[in-house]
Amino acid sequence: MSKPVRRILGLSGGKDSTALAVLLHKEIPDMEYFFCDTHKELQETYDYLDRIKARLGIKIHYLSAKRGFDHWLDVYGGVLPSPKMRWCTKQMKILPLEKFVGDDEAISYIGIRADESREGYISTKPNIKPVFPFKERGLVKADIIRLLEESGIGLPDYYRWRSRSGCFFCFFQRKYEWVRLAEEHPNLFNEAVKYEQNHSDGRTYTWTEGETLLELLDRKDEIIAQHEKAMAREKKAAPNRPLAEALEAVLDEEDDELPCLACNL
């Protein structure tokens, strides 16, 4: 007798995957929800996951790599992950997920909206089939915000200063987000600084191309001033847009790097 097809939904601690859980948790009662925990997340992310569990009455599987970030950093010779070398995504998100699924047939529900051009992480394993409910139903960002508000879950607290979920030292952070990390979580910012320093080969690796975090922080006033000008322009162009949406639009404008395609896991 063959096993039933598993239905899985990866929660990132961000708005889109959460809205997808809101949309589907009654439609698909046997859904398996998971979160790939790098153990380098913001506390706000864990708090938001607790809120999701409480509001929806669901269980979340917390998946982790057998070895942590520091182990893999050593394996990769101290080279910090970057847009061109995303070893953290492979080792700490993709492999734990594929181990969780194993050889079972699974349908993976992915929270990519109809107004987005990206696809998110799609497994290369033939037994994991992706589906895109938002795209299929034509749901866009405004629908996602509505789903979250109506559910009582709302947005995660970090959206006050950060545009997406992910590790506190994520290399896709914009410069303004690094500045705000230093203000909101100075201990985590200092930890990220330490990762740039003290490598056995004597080299310095940086999270942002072309400057260290300490050099970036020296330009704090300049970075904040540029950001505030951009926010003012955004507010003028769309005065009724919620702060979180305006922040996301400005940060996407400031840096056209695509976000990590597996950070929706």
Higher pLDDT, 108 or 241: 108
Task: Of 9-23, 91-105, 246-260, give the lowest mean pLDDT range.
Answer: 246-260
Q: Look at residue 265 in the predicted model and tell me its pLDDT.
A: 62
In the chain, the DSSP E strands lie at 6-10, 32-36, 60-63, 106-109, 128-131
Sorting pLDDT into bands at 50, 70 and 90, what band is 88? very high
Q: Look at residue 119 in the predicted model and tell me its pLDDT.
A: 63
Q: Look at residue 257 in the predicted model and tell me its pLDDT.
A: 40
Residue 1 has pLDDT above 90, yes or no: no
Q: Look at residue 179 in the predicted model and tell me its pLDDT.
A: 97
How many alpha carbons lie under 13 Å from residue 80 in its C-beta half-sphere? 21
Higher pLDDT, 226 or 265: 226
**pLDDT tens column, 15-68:** 999 999 999 999 999 999 999 999 999 999 999 999 999 999 999 999 999 999
Q: Look at residue 261 in the predicted model and tell me its pLDDT.
A: 44
Q: What is the mean pLDDT of the chain?
A: 89
Distances (CA, A) of 237 to 7, 19, 255: 41, 27, 19
**pLDDT tens column, 134-143:** 999 999 999 9
Q: Look at residue 240 in the predicted model and tell me its pLDDT.
A: 72
**pLDDT tens column, 70-85:** 999 999 988 999 988 8
User: Which contiguous run of DSSP H or E holds residue 22?
Assistant: helix 15-24
Residue 8 has pLDDT above 70, yes or no: yes
Which residues does 178 contact at the CB level (< 8 Å), separation at least 6? 189, 207, 208, 213, 216, 217
Residue 160 has pLDDT above 50, yes or no: yes
The DSSP code sequence of 116-178 is: --------SSTTEEEE-HHHHHT--HHHHHHHHHHHT----GGGGT-SS-S-TT-TT--HHHH
Whole-structure pTM value: 0.88
Sorting pLDDT into bands at 50, 70 and 90, what band is 264? low
Which residues does 104 contact at the CB level (< 8 Å), separation at least 6? 3, 5, 6, 127
Sorting pLDDT into bands at 50, 70 and 90, what band is 255? very low
Q: Look at residue 253 in the predicted model and tell me its pLDDT.
A: 56
Place of tokens 């990762």: 195
Measure the CA–CA gap between 4 and 26, rounded to whole angstroms.
19
Task: Of 111-120, 177-186, 214-223, give the lowest mean pLDDT range.
Answer: 111-120
Q: Nearest 5 degrees, angle CA 36-CA 144-CA 40?
A: 25
